[in-house]
Structure 1
Amino acid sequence: MSKDIILKAENISKQYRLGQVGTGTLSHDFNRWWYKIRGKEDPYLKIGETNDRSTKGESDYVWALQDISFEVKRGEVLGIIGKNGAGKSTLLKILSKVTAPTTGSIKSRGRIASLLEVGTGFNPELTGRENVYLNGAILGMTKKEITSKLEEIIDFSGCQRYIDTPVKRYSSGMTVRLAFAVAAFLEPEILVIDEVLAVGDAEFQKKAIGKMQDISKGEGRTVLFVSHNMAAVKSLCTRGIVLENGKLKFDGNIDESINLYLNSDKNNFDSNFLDEYIRDQNDEYFNLKNIKVRQKNVSDCVFYTNETISIHFDYTIVKEVLGLRIGFDLIDLNTETIIFRSFHDDLECEIQLIGKGQYCITATIPANLLTSGSFGIKPAIGIHNKRWIIFDDNLIIKISVMNIGGLNSAFADSRPGVISPELLWCNIEN
């Protein structure tokens, strides 16, 4: 293993048996033993299905992970992302040596500290202070080393008043605060974090992300980070891997990893999903037939930064309505923030009476406005000053915007923010 590589996973696979018996039956164990003493491969490695939690399978065996291989360099912050059930937590448990892989091997240099769930490694009967010493001893530190860090740990956690109270009386947020402080300040070479920061409040999440950045950049230690908060992943991680149904789908740049993950949900791209959803609404005034983005199938909505993006609304007015407002929110899916909301009647002075019939309107996002990234278009349709007809967080069309490349691509890729408007510049002569 190269000196720069601190962690290496080679062909990691993990198989589980479904049902009430998790490790197999006596006959299966005997078969495994019989094959092993004859120097043959475990016969149950040849069976098992892909870990897709949404489908019913035929086999009692499932591969939670299959042939996962990657390397992590010293000082790197690796984001591990994927849907629920993709195998992220299983992978981290194997890397932390909480459980063993069915096949494959893990090679690492230095201590590994892990936060896999709230209060990992804490004894609920011991006080917060005693648990700090216990966790430090587990990491191989001396009492003197732990004592030298104790005040920093307590101060960072914000649990000063409760530090001599048994942990079983802590809230989940307090437990995470102390557990993270212990893991971060006791200086492991590799810090493994699985979604636990979501339990903490906004102030603590900001502190924790700042501390992880200090750990990686200032102290040269390695962080493996799992979260469904793409804003946190993007701000913290330098590289990402995407897991899907227990398999490694992508390994590379963090922005590309996030875009691939956000664009992997085909249900939210399917215009038929919109048709079914709206028909169920059965509104007395309005029926949305379809929303299309530049007359494409929405699953292919990839644009370049120098292209205009046209959004078409096809709808039916069932009964004449006064002040129908049709618009949308444009959302940055990486940070889950709304960039802007626009309505077709924003510039109209009078509220119009709209009669029955078939209608189509188009909104156009100008070229060279958005930087590269993943964006969502959320319909916002209502009756003026009365009520929303359609406004649902699950009803989002996703689009991707890519940099056009060329001579200025290095500058374009490095620009912060989500919009890049063309402003009017002029020279002023002295």
Structure 2
Amino acid sequence: MNDLTKRLPFDAERVRADFPILNQEVNGHPLVYLDNAATTQKPRAVIQALVDYYEQDNSNVHRGAHALADRATQKFEAARVKVAEFINAPEARQVIWTRGTTESINLVAASWGRANLQAGDRVLVSAMEHHSNIVPWQLVAAEKGASVEPIPVDANGTLDLAALETMLDERVRMVACGHVSNALGTVNPVADVVRLAHAVGALVLIDGAQAVSHWPVDVQALDCDFYAFSAHKLFGPTGLGVLYGKRDLLEAMPPYQGGGEMIETVSFAGTSFNQLPYKFEAGTPDIAGVIAFGAAIDYLNQLDRAGAAAHEQALLDYAEERARATPGVRLVGTSAHKTSVMSFLLEGAHPNDVGMLLDQQGVAVRTGNHCAQPIMEQLGIPGTVRASLAFYNTRADIDRLFEALEKVRQFLI
């Protein structure tokens, strides 16, 4: 990665110009896009990389004996190297392409889980997890006679590390925890989670879907066993994800799916499997998406990411200050360590109604339980309105949100 000091100081207005979708009107109003936790928008460089692949290089990778296949393969594998460097993975072969964070977690649960979990084993997941980091573990646990247990979270949305420490014993085989809560914005102390889990011999999978877009992630420094995230939440295309794993674990795990690139030799007497990373990449991958994701990494690497993170934090602080000053607004998720997510309720109004009326004013937010039903049930609420930020958002976007919210409040209450 280039030295941050060689980059231009972060300027949100300059960066916004790189994202063509932001320059439009919705329902007669300039778009204010505050649904970045669901998916981030794409810079022109990413869109152009998709177009260039289909216009110039469209071919399958690895096995073609012609120039288009060579070019596609080189760009495809170059993107893997870029991602490995982006998260400081020791080797590019430890970066597995999947369809998203969800498939990455399912891969580990199905492959590692089926090979390693036994009756009586325990899997711990935080109570604020996305369903994608709960259900895959429940499926394999039910099959193996293991249990999936929640790590307590307090009313502010903070993970209870002391409770985790008391839950850990030799029967805990896996701890699965989000780096950042998509529903509350809580930044979990994942380095501490890893340290505590490893002390009893448990592995740790981190769902990094909501973290990678906000600051640099170093998987070696975290010492996590698996780290999963999605391209579309990192300014790249949809339908593509990454699974990082420690090499010895990935080498020992059986394939997740069969066919295509994951095969070395096939006969009716038996089949042998390809080396990493291809052992886990059955079938034709999302070649265009991978190449465009490489362009997203290039784009991020030329930004002042420290400046972008400071900008996002200042925006979140400003938004929450305005929320606390707005009658009838109740913040949900008030942990001391948060990033870029402001979930809230408007007194007397259902979140879905609030979201619909905000959309009529050109303000895009997310409403509902955010695929985090257990924490919503714990908090005793049906869901929230979630405004989530990216570095291309501005104070003007926050002002528009609260101007629109005041009209909603007057209309509904």
More helix by share: 2
Query: Which structure has the bigger radius of gyration?
Result: 1
Q: Which of 1 and 2 has higher RCO (CA within 8 Å, sep 6+)? A: 2
More strand by share: 1
Q: Normalized against structure 2, the TM-score is what?
A: 0.27
Q: Normalized against structure 1, the TM-score is what?
A: 0.26
